[in-house]
Amino acid sequence: MALRCLLKSPTTSPYISKICGFRMHGTKAVASVVEEHVSAMLRSEREDGEYADVDWDNLGFSLGLIEGMKAYRGEDGRVLMFRPELNAMRMKNGAERMCMHSPSVQQFMEGVKQTVLANKRWVPPPGKGSLYLRPLLFGSGASLGVSAASEYTFVVFGSPVQNYFKEGTAALNLYVEEVVPRAYIGGTGAVKAISNYGPVLDAVRRAKARGFSDVLYLDAETKKNIEEVSAANIFLVKGNTIVTPATNGTILRGIIRESVIEIALDLGYKVEERVVPVEELKEAEEVFCTGTAAGIASVGSITFQNIRTEYKVGDGLVTQQLRSILVGIQTGSIQDTKHWILVID
């Protein structure tokens, strides 16, 4: 089996900053750099200054991709990544579920690191956004049959982004979808694959046409329990208790989700991972979503069966407390005592 790694630059240069070739033999992989081209354009960009010529204040998320990982610029100018080894392990585990050969954790990490190093000038200044990275694995072998591919390509795309939701830092307004489920038991709901996102695009389109920010989905079996937002996990806050649906095979085990749970426990909150009936939405004081793209996003309201329930938003709340700590760790302004940060240099 062959696995190729193309580390692409977001610039307009026709050159690929580095191509790493991974040749797969069963479960053993040998990595070798087979070609490297750095264009005159890229060289001049690196020499001209620390940042690319970008309007960082109006970045938006139109150039980004719906999920992946981010590189942040710290106040001291260092470029930081948040728990990238978990992304590597998640791709490896997901590839096994999808019968695909994948890069090792070491190969994944090296590919991402080289992509960031080649595009450091595209990492926004502190507080202006992040360099969004989309590691992608797909079958590229010469086969049209319904079977596992004979060859796979691993590509890392990168682009500077700001907020994922058009509301920016404003609270989201969610709509509970009762007809279309996001995932089924025995399916690939827990796998980071396109099969998690393509099926919900129509539901999201319809919800946004009605003025909602995104969609909250119910379980496919009973349609009585909440599961996930389209590309984010969801949390409910009730007093000193934080509740989130358990990852039972239909819900993606988000890296930000896991981090928020750990931070909340450190702060003394009680965290419950369990089945969450949709009726509990009426009991929550605060609601927030988590994801690589979304970060920690406050939810201002959720509409279910034409009944709108509103939640507390703003400073001094649990959501803001968790967001401040998470962002502080990600950007280096809070000491990383958990060894979650990788410095790219």
Domains of the chain: 31-35+52-162 (3.30.470.10), 172-331 (3.20.10.10)
| Residue from 305, 316, 271 nearest 290 by CA | 271
DSSP3 helix / strand / coil % (the chain, rounded to 5): 25, 30, 40
Q: Which of 1-5, 28-32, 64-68, 249-253 has the highest mean pLDDT?
A: 249-253
**Band of the pLDDT at 66, cuts 50, 70, 90?**
very low
Is the per-residue pLDDT at 8 higher than 60?
A: no
pTM here? 0.83
Q: Which of these is catalytic: 8, 70, 120, 192?
A: 192
pLDDT at 293 (0 to 100): 84
| Range name among 30-34, 109-113, 197-201, 214-218 with the lowest pLDDT average | 30-34
Q: Higher model confidence: residue 228 or residue 67?
A: 228
**Band of the pLDDT at 316, cuts 50, 70, 90?**
very high
Q: Is 166 a catalytic residue?
A: no
Mean pLDDT for 5-17 is: 40
Is the per-residue pLDDT at 309 higher than 50?
A: yes
| Residue from 165, 111, 131, 112 nearest 52 by CA | 131
In percent, the amount of the chain with pLDDT more than 70 equals 81
Mean pLDDT (the chain, rounded): 84
pLDDT at 166 (0 to 100): 58
**Band of the pLDDT at 165, cuts 50, 70, 90?**
low
Mean pLDDT for 150-177 is: 84
Is the per-residue pLDDT at 220 higher than 90?
A: yes
CA distance linking residue 231 with residue 227, whole number of Å: 11
Question: Please, what's the b/e burial string for 29-50 (b: 16 or more CB within 10 A of its CB; e: otherwise)?
Answer: bebeeeeeeeeeebeebeeeee
- The per-type count for the chain, helices as H runs and strands as E runs, is 6, 17
